[in-house]
């Protein structure tokens, strides 16, 4: 029978060994040697997607051609066995590029996007019933992606209340003859503090394709300028996030405060090999060169010069594409305004000089831009947080139609599919953000664009506070209607009445526009 002393010595030995084992194990997690065993870098895009499944949901970062994961998309194109994808992206690429490649190869069965833009392939496929398209306001799309990654199943947003998105009258799928085969689902509406909000469900994805400027083997990533756009929110969302990086760097080379997405969200990293493109190169020009010549140029200049008066010192403003983007050229230099772009820039500068274009610096119209001193870049989800919260003092937008009570229609013409973009979010808080519309008074056929009620699908209800046209300026009261406050030189009240399909009052003193 073993002695008591032997038993004690044996127990003591195992006790010391166990303690030492646990101590060494704990210590090993803090050593550089052990951390280096975490290596998320894959040798190629082909290896990174080799186990990708069909009939799954794929998030793709990017805005226009900026921040698009082309290397990974091109690799999926090489694998025609991957089919039935539900692709989620702000816009569905362009013809011959980005997600446009997967549309052409019929590997995508459903597209969730905010903007179709000039992608005629997607527009044609949708109208012929070859693909399902779920158009979503841009800010709502960004928040659906963010919420899905944050464990939030649904949320309420003011964007799209009173539109086809809320009422469920948005076409999702067509029959081959062009008739609507399926409409969207009506959204739940709830009132908070006297204001109506629309409930939207989060998006949950199987895969996310992300474009980064830098990544390390731990999966930490950094974006460059406006290429962050949707990439940050989408990177945090998916079960499998695959990042293509322009530069794969050593651990520690990206400073702790410079990491935009921590490695915990990233599963695989590959070297980006696809060249970066620019959708719309726009260079700095004299205002007269942009506005055009003749009567048309004169009309545009009148509108833009008047719109420039809307800027007040210290404002934060968001400008729609087209004429609104030209207004800052006519602002007095003594007036300091910070321009925000919904793709993730606060502090937009002028268009670049020729040869100075940067593919990672574009505005909401996908045009090349520069940054003003003190500018900041961030993700689309933060950009639209600013917008919905009313931090933007002024937004100037174009329009197809405006009603007497300030309803706005600017996203769809019959037979065309363009998408909402960010407009539904921009007009969602008119109590805090003044919405000004700039447009010609009549369309190309001479028909009024200011109506009793809008005939086209609405972007927002009771949101436009001021209308600036080539003929006049109206103030809009959401209850009382239109008041004529300014007239262009040589224009009479009778001419305005003849070209306006809505009743209006005249101010006690009607001032000249300029």
- List Cβ neighbours of 400 (8 Å cut-off, separation of 6 or more): 409, 410, 413, 439, 443, 449, 456
Q: Are 411 and 160 in contact (CB under 8 A)?
A: no
Name the token pair of 108: 């995508």
Q: For Cα atoms 434, 438, 442, give the angle at the middle one, nearest 5 degrees.
A: 135
Orientation of helix 380-388 relative to helix 138-149, angle to 10°: 120
Catalytic residue from among 132, 301, 310, 342: 342
Sign of torsion over alpha carbons 421, 186, 453, 190: negative
Q: Are 122 and 139 in contact (CB under 8 A)?
A: no
3-state secondary structure of 180: strand
Q: Is 134 a catalytic residue?
A: no
b/e burial code for range 98-114 (CB count within 10 A of at least 16 → b): bbbbbbbeebbebbbbb
Q: For Cα atoms 191, 195, 197, give the angle at the middle one, nearest 5 degrees.
A: 60
Q: Are 351 and 57 in contact (CB under 8 A)?
A: no
The CA-based dihedral angle spanning residues 13, 16, 21, 26, taken in that order and rounded to the nearest 10 degrees? 170
- Alpha-carbon distance of 463 to 360, in angstroms, equals 32
Name the token pair of 508: 């006690």
Sign of torsion over alpha carbons 310, 322, 163, 204: negative
φ/ψ (deg, to 5) at 474: -110, 140
Of 502, 318, 489, 298, whose CA–CA distance to 402 is shortest? Answer: 502
Give the DSSP H or E segment for 166: helix 164-167
- Alpha-carbon distance of 250 to 215, in angstroms, equals 8
3-state secondary structure of 121: helix
- Alpha-carbon distance of 131 to 127, in angstroms, equals 8
- List Cβ neighbours of 101 (8 Å cut-off, separation of 6 or more): 73, 74, 77, 93
Taking the CA of residue 356 as centre, how many other CA atoms within 13 Å lie in the half-sphere pointing to its CB?
A: 11
- Alpha-carbon distance of 143 to 306, in angstroms, equals 35
- Alpha-carbon distance of 144 to 159, in angstroms, equals 13
Instruction: Report, as residue numbers or ranges, the catalytic residues.
Output: 342
């Amino acid at each position: 029978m073993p002695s008591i002393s032997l038993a004690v010595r044996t127990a003591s030995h195992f006790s010391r060994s166990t303690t030492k084992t646990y101590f060494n194990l704990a210590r090993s997690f803090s050593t550089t040697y052990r951390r280096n065993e975490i290596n998320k870098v894959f040798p190629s895009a082909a290896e990174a997607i080799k186990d990708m499944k069909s009939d799954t949901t794929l998030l793709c970062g990017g805005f226009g051609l900026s921040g698009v994961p082309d290397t990974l998309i091109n690799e999926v194109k090489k694998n025609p066995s991957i089919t039935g994808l539900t692709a989620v992206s702000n816009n569905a690429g362009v013809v011959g590029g980005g997600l446009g490649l997967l549309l052409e190869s019929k590997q995508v069965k459903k597209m969730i996007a905010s903007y179709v833009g000039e992608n005629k392939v997607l527009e044609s496929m949708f109208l012929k019933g070859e693909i399902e398209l779920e158009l979503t306001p841009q800010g709502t799309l960004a928040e659906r992606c963010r919420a899905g990654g944050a464990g939030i199943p649904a949320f309420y947003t003011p964007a799209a209340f009173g539109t086809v998105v809320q009422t469920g009258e948005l076409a999702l799928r067509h029959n081959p003859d062009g008739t609507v085969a399926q409409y969207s689902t009506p959204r739940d509406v709830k009132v908070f503090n006297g204001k109506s909000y629309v409930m939207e469900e989060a998006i949950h994805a199987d895969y996310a394709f992300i474009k980064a400027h830098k990544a390390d083997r731990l999966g930490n990533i950094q974006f460059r300028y406006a290429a962050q756009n949707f990439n940050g929110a989408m990177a945090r969302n998916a079960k499998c996030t695959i990042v293509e990086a322009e530069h794969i760097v050593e651990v520690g080379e990206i400073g702790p405060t410079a990491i935009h997405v921590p490695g915990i969200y990233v599963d695989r990293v590959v070297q980006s090999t696809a060249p970066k493109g620019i959708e719309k190169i726009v260079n700095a020009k004299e205002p007269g060169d942009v506005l055009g010549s003749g009567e048309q140029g004169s009309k545009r200049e009148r509108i833009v010069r008047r719109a420039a008066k809307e800027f007040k010192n210290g404002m934060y403003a968001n400008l729609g594409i087209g004429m609104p983007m030209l207004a800052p050229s006519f602002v007095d230099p003594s007036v300091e305004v910070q321009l925000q772009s919904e793709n993730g820039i606060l502090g937009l500068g002028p268009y670049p000089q020729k040869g100075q274009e940067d593919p990672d610096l574009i505005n909401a119209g996908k045009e090349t831009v520069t940054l003003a001193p003190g500018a900041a870049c961030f993700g689309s989800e933060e950009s639209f947080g600013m917008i919905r919260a009313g931090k933007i003092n002024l937004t100037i937008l174009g329009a197809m139609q405006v009603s007497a009570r300030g309803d706005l229609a600017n996203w769809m013409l019959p037979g065309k599919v363009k998408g909402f973009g960010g407009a539904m979010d921009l007009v969602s808080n008119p109590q805090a953000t003044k919405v000004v519309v700039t447009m010609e008074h009549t369309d190309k056929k001479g028909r009024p664009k200011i109506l009793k009620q809008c005939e086209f699908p609405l972007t927002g209800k009771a949101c436009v506070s001021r209308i600036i046209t080539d003929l006049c300026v109206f103030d809009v009261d959401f209850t009382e209607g239109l008041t004529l406050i300014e007239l262009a030189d040589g224009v009479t009240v009778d001419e305005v009445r003849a070209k306006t399909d809505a009743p209006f009052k005249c101010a006690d003193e009607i001032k000249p526009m300029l």
